[in-house]
């Protein structure tokens, strides 16, 4: 390689270089400093990354966003039974306790706090949730020997009206579904509450631990709630629904005592539904005592189809189909389509099912498209009549 000697420079350049040795010299010295070189490389990397983001776009732009005004980001105090409901599957309570401890300290009402944006990577767009008012509602309960009992408010408003999910008919055939057996299996219960649309009515077992917490969580997700009532089947006591089973042979006082214990387990339900009951539901004296309590307390009664035409005098409905008698995806889908056909013929149809994981999955998939086929998904309370 050829080397340029100082003799090849013009006199003017040589004079300038001799006069200002600092310009190029300082530059060479700076570049030779390892700290300055590292800082320059980092700056070049940041400039390159910024240019790529401007060209390609935000890699999280497709993820759903939840915007929460920080001034309103206040969670109510923990409801009774929340601990059991949220940790029933063996998960340690520590994290949940910390969440509620933090949530019970509200943020100051400061409009300058702005919004919190929560990005859910890889998640589907969240469905819109319309929470129902928390229970109990003032004026709709009174103290009982075992806990609060539902009552009709002084203005005539009933729990059947107050705790039902609001509904506005649009003229299309109404399709309703009740999913029962909830509260015993925490995983299935949480899955039903969080994945099914609010129009699906949920039915809870009265013996479930943390029952009030489950009902509160269901109402927060927009679900109206029924309380299951254990009733005597024809093969009782071999088939025993529990210690507070309503027996056909009991007198009105004993039926009322057992029923009031069941009713005091929680609040927030708009009515009752039967669990078993093939003998009790076919006993006229037993049904007179049962519906007399419901009428006094302003509750509805929806059965699984075994008591169609019975128990009149209270808001009533009977399921026309059980969608998961055969536990397979194809059979459940066929029953749901048959439920649609029944609604098309009669203007409305009510089905029932159990909270099997398969049933929850099939119902969730069906509910996403049922309205696109010309039906209106409705809560069970919208199908009740006196």
- The yes-or-no verdict on residue 220 having pLDDT over 80 is yes
- Write down the pLDDT at residue 340: 98
Across 103-114, average pLDDT: 36
* pLDDT tens-digit map of 358-386: 999 999 999 999 999 999 999 999 999 97
- Write down the pLDDT at residue 29: 54
- The yes-or-no verdict on residue 56 having pLDDT over 70 is no
Q: What is the C-alpha to C-alpha distance for residues 359 and 127, in angstroms, rounded to an integer? A: 20
Angstrom CA distances, 47 to 33, 38, 51, stand at 21, 14, 6
Angstrom CA distances, 339 to 301, 303, 304, 366, stand at 21, 16, 14, 11
271-276/225-231 β-pairing: parallel
C-alpha Rg value of the chain to the nearest Å: 33
- The yes-or-no verdict on residue 256 having pLDDT over 50 is yes
Query: Hey, which residues does 275 pair with through a beta bridge?
Result: 230
- Write down the pLDDT at residue 144: 93
Residue partners of 30: CB distance under 8 A and separation at least 6:
36
Q: What is the C-alpha to C-alpha distance for residues 226 and 228, in angstroms, rounded to an integer? A: 6
Average pLDDT along the chain: 79
Q: Convert 34-99 into a string of H (helix), E (strand) and C (coil).
A: HHHHHHHHHHHHHHHHHHHHHHHCCCCCCCCEEEEEHHHCCCCCCCCCHHHHHHCCCCCCHHHHHH
- The yes-or-no verdict on residue 111 having pLDDT over 60 is no
- The yes-or-no verdict on residue 46 having pLDDT over 80 is no
- Write down the pLDDT at residue 43: 62
Q: What is the C-alpha to C-alpha distance for residues 206 and 261, in angstroms, rounded to an integer? A: 10
- Report the C-alpha dihedral over residues 213, 355, 265, 232, rounded to 10 degrees: -170
Q: What is the C-alpha to C-alpha distance for residues 386 and 384, in angstroms, rounded to an integer? A: 7
Residue partners of 224: CB distance under 8 A and separation at least 6:
132, 163, 164, 165, 201, 202, 270, 379, 380, 381
- Write down the pLDDT at residue 129: 82
Residue 50 vs residue 321, higher pLDDT: 321
* pLDDT tens-digit map of 165-174: 999 999 999 9
Percentage of the chain beyond pLDDT 70 is: 67
Q: What is the C-alpha to C-alpha distance for residues 308 and 320, in angstroms, rounded to an integer? A: 9
* pLDDT tens-digit map of 175-214: 999 999 999 999 999 999 999 999 999 999 999 999 999 9
Domain boundaries, the chain: 65-119, 152-383
Percentage of the chain beyond pLDDT 90 is: 65
**Superfamily the domain 152-383 falls into:** Glycoside hydrolase/deacetylase (3.20.20.370)
- The yes-or-no verdict on residue 314 having pLDDT over 90 is yes
- Write down the pLDDT at residue 28: 54
Across 115-144, average pLDDT: 70
Q: What is the C-alpha to C-alpha distance for residues 11 and 371, in angstroms, rounded to an integer? A: 91
Alpha helices in the chain (DSSP H): 11-19, 22-32, 34-56, 82-87, 94-103, 159-162, 186-195, 211-220, 252-263, 284-297, 329-346, 357-369
Name the strand (E) or helix (H) holding 316: strand 316-318
- Write down the pLDDT at residue 17: 43
Across 252-259, average pLDDT: 98
- The yes-or-no verdict on residue 66 having pLDDT over 50 is no
| Least confident window among 69-73, 159-163, 312-316, 342-346 | 69-73
Q: What is the C-alpha to C-alpha distance for residues 183 and 343, in angstroms, rounded to an integer? A: 29
Other beta carbons less than 10 A from residue 235's beta carbon: 11
For Cα atoms 281, 142, 223, give the angle at the middle one, nearest 5 degrees.
60
- The yes-or-no verdict on residue 306 having pLDDT over 90 is yes
């Amino acid at each position: 390689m050829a080397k340029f000697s100082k003799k090849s420079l013009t006199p003017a350049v040589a004079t300038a270089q001799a006069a200002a040795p600092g310009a190029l010299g300082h530059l060479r010295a700076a570049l030779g400093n390892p700290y300055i070189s590292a800082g320059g490389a980092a700056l070049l990397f940041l400039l390159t990354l910024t240019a790529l983001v401007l060209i390609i776009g935000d890699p999280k732009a497709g993820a759903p966003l939840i915007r929460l005004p920080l001034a309103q980001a206040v969670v109510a105090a923990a409801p009774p039974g929340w601990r059991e409901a949220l940790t029933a599957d063996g998960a340690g309570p520590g994290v949940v306790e910390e969440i509620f401890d933090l949530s019970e300290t509200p943020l100051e009402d400061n409009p300058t706090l702005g919004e919190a944006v929560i990005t859910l990577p890889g998640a589907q767009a969240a469905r819109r949730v319309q929470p129902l008012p928390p229970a109990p509602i003032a004026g709709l309960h009174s103290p009982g020997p075992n806990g609060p009992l539902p009552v009709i408010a002084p203005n005539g408003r009933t729990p059947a009206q107050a705790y039902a999910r609001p509904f506005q008919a649009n003229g299309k055939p109404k399709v309703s579904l009740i999913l029962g057996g909830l509260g015993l299996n925490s995983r299935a219960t949480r899955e039903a509450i969080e994945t099914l649309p609010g129009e699906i009515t949920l039915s809870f077992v009265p013996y479930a631990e943390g029952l009030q917490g489950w009902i509160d969580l269901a109402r927060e997700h927009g679900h109206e709630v029924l309380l299951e009532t254990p009733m005597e089947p024809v093969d009782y006591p071999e088939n025993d629904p529990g210690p507070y089973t309503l027996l056909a042979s009991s007198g009105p006082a004993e039926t009322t005592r057992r029923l009031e214990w069941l009713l005091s387990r929680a609040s927030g339900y708009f009515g009752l539904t039967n669990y078993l009951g093939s003998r009790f539901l076919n006993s006229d004296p037993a049904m007179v005592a049962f519906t007399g309590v419901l009428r006094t307390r302003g509750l509805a009664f929806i059965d699984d189809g075994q008591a169609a035409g019975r128990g009149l005098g209270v808001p009533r409905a009977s399921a026309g189909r059980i969608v998961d008698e055969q536990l397979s995806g194809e059979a459940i889908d066929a029953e749901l389509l048959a439920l649609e056909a029944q609604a098309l013929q009669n203007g409305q149809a009510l089905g029932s099912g159990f909270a099997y994981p398969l049933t929850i999955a099939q119902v969730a998939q069906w509910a996403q498209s049922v309205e696109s086929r010309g039906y209106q998904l409705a809560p069970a309370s919208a199908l009740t009549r006196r």
